[in-house]
Structure 1
């Protein structure tokens, strides 16, 4: 994808962000209606990214593998896990046309050692 190809995507993203901001700032809608409207707009933005070849990968809830292409920001002992598990995605891994564009940053829970 060349720089020129990004223009329509950037315009669509800018419009979507404007719509989201407008809806949130108005704040006059019923909260349930506002939430549904925001969810629809987020789905639309996600679809635009997907159509442009952008894949955004969250790692939260995944079993951690030391060979993953991610940066571990912290390890946190937890009695709630039996194996290393990603408990938080700080930044997602992003691919552009199948190529790594951004390395994800994560927090990993590790099983607590029983005395």
Structure 2
């Protein structure tokens, strides 16, 4: 029995149910398992891979294109950071494999002279060559610390080609007395 054409495309839920039920016709060893990533995760991975693919195309004649290297470095850094946040999910084994691929790509960039520097947790000094996007009062801090790196510092053969962007935590002001 076919579904009338007016009902197709309304919801992907019906097609998923039909696909799951269709798998029951086959012996267990021939059933296709559901994908290990949900739609949002699959879209995110496709987007990151497209960014990395664009960034790793043939370099311009005469040397490496700095913009391409920056895009590759930042894309790989963001992908690795995102994957590190997803460790506890059920598909952790698959994500570990993807993390290894990203680490191998990052190592290849390092072997080519590109260093990606993250600043999370590092003490902050106003003389540092970092772009501070925000200061945030944090109780319990005794000195200024980088809370989050929003864009890493990137060095190519020892020369900075991208300044890092960070959020800095500073000691929260104590309660004022004598009001």
How far does residue 5 in structure 1 lie from its aligned partner after superposition?
4.6
* 1:66 counterpart = 2:126: yes
Matches within 5 A, 1:27-66: 31-66=91-126
Residue 137 of structure 2 aligns to a residue whose secondary structure is strand
Task: Report Cα offsets for 1:54-92 as digits up to 9, x if no partner.
Answer: 000000100101111100000000103111000010100
TM-score by length of 1: 0.74
* 1:86 counterpart = 2:146: yes
Count of residues in correspondence between the two structures: 97
* Moved segments of 4+, more than 4 Å: 2-5
- Which structure is larger by alpha-carbon Rg, 1 or 2? 2
Greater relative contact order (Cα 8 A, min sep 6): structure 1 or 2? 1
RMSD: 2.5
> Which segments of 5 or more consecutive residues in structure 2 lack a partner in the other structure?
1-59, 80-89
Between Structure 1 and Structure 2, which shows a larger proportion of strand residues?
Answer: 1
Residue 46 of structure 1 aligns to a residue whose secondary structure is helix
